[in-house]
């Protein structure tokens, strides 16, 4: 970490960027590229890769200065998988060339990423995955298999992909991690319609997809270790994003409560207050978690945060629907749309209620996260596992 970079220096560099590229007269993408090149994209990343090797906490200084100058941001919700999952994995395990090639267009938002992990027979038990990657004589890989629940695959340019490279090894040891080109002719993306009526995620069929060996992340056979970095970061990015006081899910129901006194009862008052306090505790815990992240990779604490987030989102949106009575049962539009991002802003209570159901499944189910907290945070005995030393090909499926 660079000791020379403090808040004053970061502020100076931000003003320099704004002077050289005034947001009012600079195109959005040009501004974002200049910001990346100035090391002000994610200040805790290395110099030359969008950062300054500075403490992560200094990012707030940059963001506040840029917001005050009305500068465009990179729309983090649209590129959440790239920012929250692909980027830390590439940073942790990528070669210099991979970091140089992928991080800038990822951060700027020119290239959207998706995550090809889950399969019909491998969700919670992700290490059981069956998608095969076979290396040819030229060193490159051919991938065949099926992935499922792939958010944003329909808009993605690249995917982080895990596949089985050695079926003779126990399931955790025969997996490798790749960067997959979503424009390869062997990639077939098909929509999956959700309870909301929308299709934000997909089935993805991979048939003879070619991946150059230069797009492998980490050593052959160590994909499970690499994937842990992705998964830990995923839980933090789902459960711990920065929100202002009374922001996030508790915001709309609090507004409804204030604006529509006729809907109130003693019971809903009591429940709203309890949830408001819990939402605030979760928000402050998330803030603390982010400060801990300054030190490096997230630990299992992120799983606890994501667990709390899923439960709260479901309870809060349930209360909002109940509070609104008949009106809460109305649902705007059932036409299947293919959203580019999951955005709760401006959506009705019915959408928030239905979409929140997925919160306890995506990024690891709540039951599985409870296991992680039990074993890795509380140190309770691990679940019995009888498949650790058996070759994957000999496991019953």
Ligand X SMILES: Cc1cc2nc3c(=O)[nH]c(=O)nc-3n(C[C@H](O)[C@H](O)[C@H](O)COP(=O)(O)OP(=O)(O)OC[C@H]3O[C@@H](n4cnc5c(N)ncnc54)[C@H](O)[C@@H]3O)c2cc1C
Q: Which residues are catalytic?
A: 234
Nearer to ligand X, 142 or 371 (CB): 371
CB 78, CB 341: distance < 8 Å: yes
CA-nearest of 183, 177, 141 to 160 is 177
Nearer to ligand X, 103 or 129 (CB): 129
Helices then strands (H, E): number in the chain? 12, 7
Nearer to ligand X, 109 or 364 (CB): 364
- Give the Cα separation of 382 and 372 in Å (integer): 9
> In the complex, which residues of this chain contact ligand X (CB under 6 A)?
114-115, 117-118, 123-124, 149-151, 201, 358, 361-362, 364-365, 367-368, 371
Nearer to ligand X, 65 or 200 (CB): 200
> Alpha carbon of 42 to those of 84, 203, 215: distances in Å?
12, 32, 24
Nearer to ligand X, 328 or 364 (CB): 364
Helix (H) or strand (E) holding 102: helix 96-108
Q: Minimum distance between the CB of residue 156 and ligand X, rounded to whole angstroms?
A: 9
CA-nearest of 141, 140, 162, 154 to 204 is 154
DSSP 15-59: HHHHHHS-TTTS-HHHHHHHHHHTT-SSTTSPBTTTB-S--GGGH
Q: Minimum distance between the CB of residue 220 and ligand X, rounded to whole angstroms?
A: 21
- Give the Cα separation of 142 and 132 in Å (integer): 8
Nearer to ligand X, 203 or 322 (CB): 203
- Give the Cα separation of 235 and 84 in Å (integer): 9
- Give the Cα separation of 312 and 303 in Å (integer): 14
Q: Minimum distance between the CB of residue 394 and ligand X, rounded to whole angstroms?
A: 21
Q: Minimum distance between the CB of residue 77 and ligand X, rounded to whole angstroms?
A: 14
Nearer to ligand X, 285 or 371 (CB): 371
Q: Minimum distance between the CB of residue 134 and ligand X, rounded to whole angstroms?
A: 21
- The CB-nearest residue to ligand X is 123
String of b and e for 279-307 (b: at least 16 CB within 10 Å)?
A: beebbebbeebbeebeeeebbbbbbbbbb
- Give the Cα separation of 224 and 177 in Å (integer): 8
Query: Helix 266-293 to helix 301-323 angle, to the nearest 10 degrees?
Result: 150
In the chain, what is the straight-line distance between the N-terminal and C-terminal CA atoms, in Å?
47
């Amino acid at each position: 970490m660079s000791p020379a970079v403090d808040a004053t220096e970061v502020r100076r560099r931000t003003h320099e960027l704004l002077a050289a590229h005034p947001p009012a007269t600079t195109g959005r993408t040009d501004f974002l590229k200049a910001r990346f090149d100035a090391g002000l994209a994610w200040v805790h990343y290395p110099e030359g890769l969008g950062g300054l090797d500075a403490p992560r906490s200094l990012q707030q200084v940059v963001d506040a200065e840029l917001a005050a100058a009305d500068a465009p941001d990179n729309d983090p919700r649209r590129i959440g998988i790239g920012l929250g999952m692909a980027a830390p994995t590439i940073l942790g395990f990528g070669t210099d060339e991979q970091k140089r090639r992928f991080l800038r267009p990822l951060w700027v938002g020119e290239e959207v990423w998706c995550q090809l992990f889950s399969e019909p027979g491998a969700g919670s038990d992700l290490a059981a995955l069956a998608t095969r990657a076979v290396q040819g004589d030229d060193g490159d890989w051919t991938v065949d298999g099926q992935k499922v629940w792939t958010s944003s695959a329909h808009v993605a340019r690249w995917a982080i992909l895990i596949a089985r490279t050695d079926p003779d090894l126990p399931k955790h040891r025969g997996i490798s991690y790749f960067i997959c080109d979503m424009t390869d002719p062997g990639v077939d993306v098909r929509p999956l319609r959700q309870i909301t009526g929308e299709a934000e995620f997909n089935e993805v069929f991979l048939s003879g997809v070619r991946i150059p060996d230069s797009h492998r992340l980490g050593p052959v056979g160590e994909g499970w270790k690499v994937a842990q970095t992705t998964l830990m970061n995923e839980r933090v990015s789902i459960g711990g994003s920065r929100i202002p006081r009374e922001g996030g899910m508790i915001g709309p129901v609090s507004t409804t409560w204030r604006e529509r006194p006729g809907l109130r009862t003693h019971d809903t008052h009591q429940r709203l207050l309890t949830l408001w306090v819990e939402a605030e505790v979760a928000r402050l815990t998330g803030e603390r978690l982010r400060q801990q992240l300054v030190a490096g990779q997230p630990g299992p604490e992120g799983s606890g945060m994501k667990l709390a987030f899923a439960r709260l989102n479901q309870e809060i949106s349930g209360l909002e629907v109940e509070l609104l009575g008949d009106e809460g049962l109305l649902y705007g539009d059932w036409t299947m749309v293919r959203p580019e991002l999951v955005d709760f802003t401006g959506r009705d209570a019915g959408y928030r209620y239905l979409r929140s159901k997925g919160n306890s499944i995506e990024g690891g189910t709540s039951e599985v996260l409870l296991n992680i907290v039990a074993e890795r945070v509380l140190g309770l005995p691990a679940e019995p596992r009888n498949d650790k030393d058996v070759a994957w090909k000999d496991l019953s499926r």
